[in-house]
Amino acid sequence: MALQVGIVGLPNVGKSTLFNAVSNSAKAQASNYRFCTIEPNVGLVDVPDTRLDKLSAIVQPQRVVPTAIEFVDIAGLVKGASKGEGLGNKFLANIREVDAIIHVVRCFEDENILRDEGAINPVGDKEIIDTELQLKDLDSVEKKIARTEKIAKNDPKAKRVLDVLLQCKNHLEQGKNIRGLKLEGEDKEAIADLFLLTEKPVLYVANVDEAAILTGNKYSEAITKVATEEGAQVIVMNNNIEAQITELESPEDKELFFSEYGLTEPGLNRLIRSAYQLLDLITYFTAGVQEVRAWTIHQGWKAPQAASVIHTDFEKGFIKAEVIGYDDYVTLGGEAVAKEKGKLRIEGKEYVVNDGDVMHFRFNV
């Protein structure tokens, strides 16, 4: 289930440079002029997980397959995008299709990189993007209100939908994002067909200069304060350095690079893991001599749903799941000993899969 994360922000904040760094399958053109990216670039990115290494060391499979997320490099938005400025309608439509947003904000000074918005102001930049997304959502909500009002007088279900829409309208008119309403159940379902932009979960990347990689700076501190107030996370990194790291092929060269900048791992690893968590995802594993593989599912999925990401037949004909907890699997050195020690469990259709479960499904179709 390749879920998509869209990379957004104002022009020339480092979006395409970040995409180049995270993507193993595509290279976006990074240039110092507006609307360099018009069609969104898409790259499938492996999710770093050291548990795969430990499982493969025990099983010695023919291949190891990590789970992955799709990153989408969306062109820079500008003030007025919600009204079509800078090809805004097209860019906003691209955002509508993703599952979550990584919002890159400029937290560095460089007179050689164009900036139309004046002095460096990451909080102000964030507000520009927020406003454009809110205005677009407000337009979508108002159109559905107009359609729903006609039938809400005699339809209790439509009345419930209308109440939610009016709540969303009021929230957006106050300059607030829909995700702040924390809608659930039927309320969430009432607006599901609108794919509202400000309902999507967001993660901020503070793109700092080299001197601030480890400590951050006044700009990253400002955006972190605002993000924390809305319950969002900020990753501080230098996108140019991250792109350079991905160009290094040998582990030795990477270690030297990390040492030079005082890093223990690429900032991208933190970003990718955070994006994965942002989508409320977990991983379970299958482990056999042919392959050790990580599978992505949503938190709270039951065993048949988890089996469906391997093949839909697994869910249709689900009989049972053989489950070993990751810690037991690694501590005991594999399936055989885990079974001998009574750590292999037989679970049915109501079993809620845990992060790290090593599973084998029995099915019949």
Confidence band of 75 (pLDDT split at 50, 70, 90): low
Q: What pLDDT sits at residue 10?
A: 86
User: Confidence class of residue 77 from pLDDT cuts 50, 70 and 90?
Assistant: low
- Give 49's contacts (C-beta < 8 A, 6+ positions apart): 66, 67, 283, 294
> Model-level pTM?
0.82
Pick the closest to residue 79 from 88, 70, 69, 68 (CA basis): 88
Annotated binding site for ATP: 12-17
Task: Kindly state the tokens that stand for 327.
Answer: 């810690």
The structure tokens 């480890």 sit at 214
Q: Which of 30, 36, 31, 40 is nearest to 7 (CA)?
A: 40
What distance in Å separates the CA atoms of residue 144 and residue 163, rounded to the nearest whole number?
A: 12
Domains annotated for the chain, with CATH where assigned, are 4-277 (3.40.50.300), 300-363 (3.10.20.30)
Query: Average pLDDT in the 337-362 region?
Result: 97
Binding-site residues from annotation: 12-17
Res 198: pLDDT? 94
Q: Hey, which residues does 65 pair with through a beta bridge?
A: 293
pLDDT at res. 289: 94
Mean pLDDT check: name the lowest of 13-17, 41-45, 150-154. Answer: 41-45
- Residues 286-297, mean pLDDT to the nearest whole number: 95
d(Cα 46, Cα 156) in Å, to the nearest integer?
A: 46
Q: Which residues contact 109 (CB under 8 A, 6 or more apart)?
A: 120, 209
The amino acid occupying position 322 is: E
Q: What is the pLDDT of residues 200-242, one digit of tens each?
A: 999 999 999 999 999 999 999 999 999 999 889 999 999 888 8
Would you say residue 113 has pLDDT above 80?
Answer: no
